[in-house]
């Protein structure tokens, strides 16, 4: 995260935003081209770009990809936005943490790309998933994407840690069909160790989603020696069991696939010696969720 991105605040129009670093041009690590057609970013002044970002006309995109059977039902276009307030030790996309590493893209351009896949979404029951990084670092941009997708009749999902859930307006929630809620730990001290941040905002956001009837898929990353303590899993499972709109829990085994990115970025990777969980450990943790009547994958 860059030095300007830590302080959430409200704008005078009432839409919460995070003060963002202006994206670097051409600085992304893309799986697919982010693109900037129709957006004269080289001539736009810094303040103009800030204004566009505040209005949600412009966002910072890391990459996008077409996926099936992950990030929500059916075939989905998943847009990975740049910027994240968390610093998860196991993050496999640390290049999404800083917003300025992303590439500027207009909401209209991204929505035009989404529109191309509408027939596939219709056939497969898929749609648009907005992920990151942390999408709620760019709430106005996300709000435009959600609204644009719904106007095209496309189903939507947002993949979030919930840490910035207070930035998600009720109007945005009206345009979200599914939230992929990453609950990274159930014990506050463990959560802080894993992410560097507080657990409470995530708990609050999940409860708000359940109270308004928004469907939730919970994701829990199982990391031996970090998140696997029985009492930590119990705390997550106890919490999730109180959320009436959770339709599935995904226990995601830790892997080392992001390791090289940490090194490339010159960041210290603290899980160098951590192994993926054994099948027995994965089974134990899944069972801890199942014992509460939850549907677990
Ligand atoms: S919330 Fe996601 S993107 Fe952010 S640091 Fe954690 S794993 Fe990485």
pLDDT digits (tens, 9 = 90+) for 96-146: 999 999 999 999 999 999 999 999 999 999 999 999 999 999 999 999 999
For residue 43, name the pLDDT band (cuts at 50, 70, 90): low
Q: What residues contact 116, with CB distance under 8 A and at least 6 apart?
A: none
Among 205, 229, 224, 67, smallest CA distance to 134 is for 205
The Å distance, Cα 40 to ligand 1 centre, comes to 30
Query: Ligand 1 within 6 A of 84 CB?
Result: yes
C-beta of residue 214 within 8 angstroms of C-beta of residue 179: yes
Q: Is residue 83 part of a domain?
A: yes
DSSP output for 17-66: EE--PPPPTT----SS----TT--TTTS-HHHHHHHHHHTSEEEEEEEEE
Confidence at residue 14, expressed as pLDDT on a 0 to 100 scale = 27
**Domain CATH code at residue 276:** 3.20.20.70
The Å distance, Cα 87 to ligand 1 centre, comes to 6
Q: Is residue 196 part of a domain?
A: yes
| Minimum CA distance residue for ligand 1 atom 3 | 133
Confidence at residue 289, expressed as pLDDT on a 0 to 100 scale = 98
Confidence at residue 90, expressed as pLDDT on a 0 to 100 scale = 97
List C-alpha distances in Å: 170 to 60, 139, 147, 154, 212: 23, 12, 12, 19, 9
Query: Ligand 1 within 6 A of 136 CB?
Result: no
Q: Is residue 237 part of a domain?
A: yes
Among 173, 247, 175, smallest CA distance to 215 is for 247
Query: Ligand 1 within 6 A of 98 CB?
Result: no
Confidence at residue 46, expressed as pLDDT on a 0 to 100 scale = 83
Largest CA distance in the chain: 58
Q: Is residue 1 part of a domain?
A: no
Domains held by the chain: number: 1
The Å distance, Cα 245 to ligand 1 centre, comes to 24
Query: Which residues constitute the domain of residue 159?
Result: 8-290
Q: Is residue 57 part of a domain?
A: yes
For residue 49, name the pLDDT band (cuts at 50, 70, 90): confident
Number of other residues whose CB lies within 10 A of the CB of residue 151: 10
Q: Which atom of ligand 1 is nearest to 87's Cα?
A: 5
The Å distance, Cα 86 to ligand 1 centre, comes to 6
Q: Is residue 222 part of a domain?
A: yes
Share of the chain above pLDDT 90, in %: 82
Determine the average pLDDT of the residues in 231-235.
98
The Å distance, Cα 38 to ligand 1 centre, comes to 30
Helix, strand, coil share (%) of the chain residues, nearest 5: 35, 20, 45
Query: Ligand 1 within 6 A of 185 CB?
Result: no
Q: Is residue 210 part of a domain?
A: yes
Query: Ligand 1 within 6 A of 161 CB?
Result: yes
Q: Which atom of ligand 1 is nearest to 90's Cα?
A: 7
């Amino acid at each position: 995260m860059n030095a300007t991105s830590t302080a959430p605040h409200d704008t005078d129009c009432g839409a919460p935003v995070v003060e963002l670093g202006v994206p670097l041009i051409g600085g992304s690590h893309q799986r697919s081209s982010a693109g900037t057609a129709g957006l004269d970013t080289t001539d736009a002044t810094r303040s103009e770009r800030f204004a566009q970002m505040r209005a949600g006309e412009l966002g910072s995109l890391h990459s996008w990809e077409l996926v099936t059977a992950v990030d929500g039902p059916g075939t989905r276009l998943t847009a990975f936005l740049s910027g994240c307030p968390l610093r998860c030790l196991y993050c496999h996309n640390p290049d999404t943490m800083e917003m300025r590493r992303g590439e500027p893209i207009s909401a209209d351009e991204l929505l035009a790309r989404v529109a191309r896949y509408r027939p596939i979404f219709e056939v497969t029951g898929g749609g648009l998933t907005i992920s990151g990084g942390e999408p709620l670092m760019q709430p106005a941009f996300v709000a435009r994407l959600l609204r644009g997708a719904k106007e095209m009749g496309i189903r939507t999902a947002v993949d979030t840690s919930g840490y910035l859930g207070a930035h998600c307006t009720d109007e945005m929630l009206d345009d979200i069909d599914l939230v992929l809620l990453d609950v990274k730990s159930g014990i506050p001290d463990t959560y802080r160790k894993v992410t560097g941040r507080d657990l409470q905002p995530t708990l609050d956001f999940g409860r708000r989603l359940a109270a308004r009837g928004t469907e939730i898929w919970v994701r829990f990353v199982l990391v031996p020696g970090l998140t696997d303590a029985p009492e930590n899993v119990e705390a997550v499972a106890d919490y999730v069991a109180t959320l009436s709109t959770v339709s599935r829990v995904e226990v995601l085994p830790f892997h080392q696939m992001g390791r090289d990115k940490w090194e490339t970025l010159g960041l210290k990777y603290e899980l160098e010696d951590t192994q993926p969980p054994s099948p027995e450990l994965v089974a134990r943790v899944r069972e801890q969720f199942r014992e509460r009547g939850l549907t677990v994958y």
